[in-house]
Amino acid sequence: MTASVATAKRFKPGEPVRVRRAFPPGHIRTPIYIRGAEGVIERDCGDCVNAEERAFGRSGLPKLPLYRVRFKQRQIWPDYAGPANDSVEIEIYANWLERA
């Protein structure tokens, strides 16, 4: 079962987080290339319907916290040639995040 909003981890902007490295089948909104990467919470997007559940015709409730997480491009792509501060931001559900 997914965690309810009441019990799900809450992060604050600026907190370092790590994306869980897991590969379940299903409808997953966390792209594979970012699983296992470390980033920083950019903002709390509020509580959102759980798309992993709603994709199978269920309600998607309880909602899950959704966070926008900022990652450094250079930490993700070994051959990234852009400026060191370039970042990529991805909106990720709380069940995929852990404290780094």
For other proteins, the binding residues (CB under 8 A) are: 21, 23-25, 27-28, 31-37, 51, 54-57, 60, 75-78
Task: For the CB of residue 29, give the shortest distance to other proteins in the complex, in Å.
Answer: 9
Task: For the CB of residue 69, give the shortest distance to other proteins in the complex, in Å.
Answer: 14
Task: For the CB of residue 99, give the shortest distance to other proteins in the complex, in Å.
Answer: 19
CA 29 → CA 13, 35, 100, distances in Å? 21, 11, 20
CB 75, CB 87: distance < 8 Å: no
